[in-house]
A and B are shown apart, each in its own frame.
Chain A
């Protein structure tokens, strides 16, 4: 038994001393992160030979070579506890590394890296995490020069370029104690970054980040659909930082600007339910980028602390149909229906053209309703109401229509008769606007019956004109009226003439005309501006009976105080119907009045409904509003 144990111990001793040394089982060589570059860290696992006595297994050796097969140079020799080594002299060469265990001064078989390893200069550029986008975080490790005194190492200088070949533009200088920098102006461009060390006034060779990096663009900009164009809807995530005061919205033609400040908007009161958004209603025709800055800060002041930008350009284009105008289109149809209904009511016959027109009208209206996409019940109501208003008069046609009397129009004949009796002329001024103004057309519509009556009474009608086109039309209207009255011989071109296209020259000329000719009756109908009172007062001084009418609200008071009769606003448009006596015109006037009644009804109903809704939904607020009403109405400031 003793013999057996002795043999076993001798065998083990012989095996341990006389066997070949073994290398570590695993090894790893990699560029060291977060350093300045030029350093490669090699790590390995323990060698099985560690079981040998200390006198036999002394440690490990690390070799490197720039080629796979050597020649190998020793870069490190460590003791038996060593497991890692950092090769700080790696520079920018691609190295092959191998590690051996040393037993009795002899290297074991090596374990090596499968491929070369390069120590990259570790300037790292990444999209700043957990931020608002638009920012790149740059980090770099401790530079060997950091060991130098502060008076020697001045700091670091960062550059960036949109292209790897440059040109690199200086971005910032940072202190020697810094190892990172946040580029908050990165926008959406993929930037190439570069770093240099400032030592004693000189700049080291640059170190480049290996890859370009772009900050995440979180803002979103879309062309608002179904609009006239020119509107872009921009949305972005809420800024989550402290002290947010407002968002500033910028627009630029390119991803890098130049940026133009569009607006500064406060953040929504409830950031959970309300999105951060902005409508750029003056968007340019071409592509545009948007950038939003978060304005934050304390009581001492706010500054732009973070940015978010759109990644892609957006162009505002016009849709083929403007969706938000379909309500106007429906209003046009309703209005037209009521007017046409009354026109047909006043008509004494139904022609084939009327029926065809009605069918076409109904079809077109139905198409518009379908386009509006408002749901079947609402569509039916909106479709049927006006169509019924058209259809009923088609059945019950030919009735007598009552229209409310307008004193100014009833006085027209009397005024013309007065001029005839006095043997003085009649002056008719059709405003000082162009033919594109409906008020001018309304004035010309009144001119026709006035001229006809003047011709019948053999009174001289003077029509001075301000606008060349209006002059030619007025001439034709008066000529036709004289013809219709059977007095073409009484018409003279001299009485319908062009004066001046200058406002006050025209006013002066007409005033002079009134003073010299002393007309018995003056008509001032159409669009007037500041000259209205000059004309009306001059006419008043001459003692003429004056009938004025305009839809210019600012001039109405002048006419009211200086003239005998005034057609206020829409009455000007009704005059043609009153004086013409055409049943269709009378019907249209009735339709116009019904539309006005409808508008009043809608205003009253909606106002009442909103009022009741407000009282029911929030009685407290209503009571508070009631308490504040006197202050709101009179705006009486609290006395100090």
Chain B
């Protein structure tokens, strides 16, 4: 029962959702099913918050190394929760307008301010690390250890040179050559992967619908 009911539900919902693609009059059913998704998400978010708090709390309690980070994570969570949650619960409260006045930016809540000025810059910082990681990964990948790696090195060098003004200045053919590499061999390979991915997605969906693949439900028959 524990296995068969979810599989049966998956089969029915899967067939219905697939059918809506061919029969537009079932579009309402499709939208209805999609509307259920946020309801499930709501419960999952609550569980996630519990997981987050417990995970950090246990590390603090056990005095694990680096527990200062856990404290910081919990403190940040609490501050953002207070800043955003309480205002959402009591939007008309005079306390928040008072805080807004103190803040000096009545049009911008403390929550928004922290989001814009703390979280986003930190995310941008992490994102910017990507440039350095690309350089280090390229350095490692472009070593001509074998035929494939050498091909990769040659193709990447041509593309890099063709995409900078210096390459055009050296030889006008670099630009068209890199375009050709990107447009034909590269696109052909990408399309081959895309076709394979499409077939893989279809096969996995079929397996999930028919209950052939049930690992995600927990192993066993």
Q: Name A's B-contacting residues (CB within 8 A).
A: 228-229, 318-322, 325-326, 328-329, 332, 335-336, 339-340, 343, 436, 438, 441-442, 444-449, 452, 465, 468-469, 471-473, 476-477, 479-481, 483-484, 493-494, 497-499, 502-505, 507-508, 512, 516, 530, 533-534, 536-537, 540, 551, 553, 556, 558, 560-562, 568-570, 572-574, 576, 580, 582, 584-585, 588-589, 591-592, 595-596, 599, 633-636
How far is A427 from B127 in the complex, measured between Cα atoms in Å? Answer: 22
B145 close to A (CB within 8 Å): no
Q: Note all chain B residues with C-beta closer than 8 A to A503.
A: 123
- Say whether A494 contacts B58, CB under 8 Å: yes
- Say whether A448 contacts B137, CB under 8 Å: no
Q: Note all chain A residues with C-beta closer than 8 A to B127.
A: 504, 530
Task: Tell me whether A558 and B137 are in contact in the complex, defined as CB-CB below 8 angstroms, given that A448-B216, A468-B45, A505-B123 are known contacts.
Answer: yes
How far is A335 from B201 in the complex, measured between Cα atoms in Å? Answer: 12
- Say whether A534 contacts B47, CB under 8 Å: no
Task: Tell me whether A553 and B190 are in contact in the complex, defined as CB-CB below 8 angstroms, given that A441-B204, A497-B55, A588-B203 are known contacts.
Answer: yes
Task: Tell me whether A570 and B199 are in contact in the complex, defined as CB-CB below 8 angstroms, given that A468-B47, A533-B137, A585-B212 are known contacts.
Answer: yes
Interface residue tally for chain B (C-beta within 8 Å) = 68
Task: Among A438, A556, A561, point to the contact of B137 (Cβ < 8 A).
Answer: A561
How far is A320 from B119 in the complex, measured between Cα atoms in Å? Answer: 49
Task: Tell me whether A596 and B195 are in contact in the complex, defined as CB-CB below 8 angstroms, given that A469-B41, A576-B215 are known contacts.
Answer: yes
- Say whether A592 contacts B44, CB under 8 Å: no
- Say whether A516 contacts B66, CB under 8 Å: yes
Task: Among A477, A536, A561, point to the contact of B218 (Cβ < 8 A).
Answer: A477
How far is A476 from B6 in the complex, measured between Cα atoms in Å? Answer: 14
Min Cβ gap A496→B in Å is: 8
Q: Note all chain B residues with C-beta closer than 8 A to A228.
A: 24
B169 close to A (CB within 8 Å): no
Contact with A along B38-65 (1 / 0, CB 8 A): 0011001101110110110010000001
Which 7 interchain pairs have the tightest Cβ spacing? A480-B218, A570-B200, A561-B141, A573-B200, A468-B44, A318-B24, A498-B48
Q: Note all chain B residues with C-beta closer than 8 A to A436.
A: 37
How far is A591 from B129 in the complex, measured between Cα atoms in Å? Answer: 42
Q: Note all chain A residues with C-beta closer than 8 A to B212.
A: 343, 582, 584-585, 588
Nearest chain A residue, comparing its CB with the CB of B220? A484
Min Cβ gap B117→A in Å is: 15
How far is A634 from B55 in the complex, measured between Cα atoms in Å? Answer: 57
Task: Among A321, A441, A444, A480, point to the contact of B220 (Cβ < 8 A).
Answer: A480
Nearest chain B residue, comparing its CB with the CB of A492? B58
B157 close to A (CB within 8 Å): no
Task: Among B18, B51, B140, B219, point to the contact of A498 (Cβ < 8 A).
Answer: B51
- Say whether B218 contacts A576, CB under 8 Å: no
- Say whether B215 contacts A580, CB under 8 Å: yes
B90 close to A (CB within 8 Å): no
Nearest chain A residue, comparing its CB with the CB of B132? A537
B95-103, B105-113, B172-180 - the one binding chain A: B172-180
Min Cβ gap B214→A in Å is: 9
Min Cβ gap B179→A in Å is: 6
Q: Note all chain A residues with C-beta closer than 8 A to B177.
A: 634
How far is A177 from B213 in the complex, measured between Cα atoms in Å? Answer: 87
Q: Note all chain B residues with C-beta closer than 8 A to A471.
A: 44, 47-48, 51
- Say whether A633 contacts B184, CB under 8 Å: yes
- Say whether B206 contacts A320, CB under 8 Å: no
Task: Among A328, A441, A635, point to the contact of B216 (Cβ < 8 A).
Answer: A441
Q: Name B's A-contacting residues (CB within 8 A).
A: 18, 21-25, 27, 37, 40-41, 44-45, 47-49, 51-52, 54-55, 58, 65-66, 69, 119, 122-124, 126-127, 129-130, 133-134, 136-138, 140-141, 173, 176-177, 179-180, 184, 190, 193-197, 199-208, 212-213, 215-220
Report 18 cross-chain contacts, Cβ distance below 8 Å, ordered by A residue.
Answer: A328-B21, A335-B202, A436-B37, A476-B217, A480-B217, A481-B218, A497-B52, A504-B122, A508-B126, A534-B129, A540-B137, A551-B197, A553-B197, A569-B193, A570-B199, A588-B207, A596-B195, A599-B199
How far is A540 from B136 in the complex, measured between Cα atoms in Å? Answer: 11
Nearest chain B residue, comparing its CB with the CB of A537? B133
- Say whether B220 contacts A585, CB under 8 Å: no
Nearest chain A residue, comparing its CB with the CB of B49? A498
- Say whether B203 contacts A444, CB under 8 Å: no
Min Cβ gap B156→A in Å is: 10
Which among A335, A343, A570 has the greatest number of chain B C-beta atoms within 10 A? A570
Nearest chain B residue, comparing its CB with the CB of A541? B136
Q: Note all chain A residues with C-beta closer than 8 A to B207.
A: 585, 588
Task: Among B23, B51, B133, B215, point to the contact of A322 (Cβ < 8 A).
Answer: B23
Q: Note all chain B residues with C-beta closer than 8 A to A599.
A: 195, 199
Min Cβ gap A537→B in Å is: 4
- Say whether B130 contacts A533, CB under 8 Å: yes
How far is A90 from B76 in the complex, measured between Cα atoms in Å? Answer: 97
- Say whether A321 contacts B173, CB under 8 Å: no
- Say whether A477 contacts B216, CB under 8 Å: yes
Task: Among A328, A343, A516, point to the contact of B65 (Cβ < 8 A).
Answer: A516
Task: Tell me whether A636 and B215 are in contact in the complex, defined as CB-CB below 8 angstroms, given that A322-B24, A498-B52 are known contacts.
Answer: no
Q: Note all chain B residues with C-beta closer than 8 A to A497.
A: 51-52, 55
- Say whether A569 contacts B196, CB under 8 Å: yes
Which among B37, B129, B215 has the greatest number of chain A C-beta atoms within 10 A? B215
Min Cβ gap A350→B in Å is: 15
Min Cβ gap A590→B in Å is: 10
Task: Tell me whether A469 and B23 are in contact in the complex, defined as CB-CB below 8 angstroms, given that A438-B204, A480-B220, A498-B48 are known contacts.
Answer: no
- Say whether A633 contacts B24, CB under 8 Å: no
Q: Note all chain A residues with C-beta closer than 8 A to B58.
A: 494
Min Cβ gap B83→A in Å is: 16
Known: A558-B134, A569-B196, A635-B179. 19 other contacts (CB 8 A): A318-B25, A320-B24, A332-B202, A335-B203, A438-B201, A441-B208, A471-B47, A476-B217, A493-B51, A498-B51, A533-B137, A537-B136, A553-B190, A561-B137, A572-B200, A573-B201, A588-B207, A595-B203, A635-B176
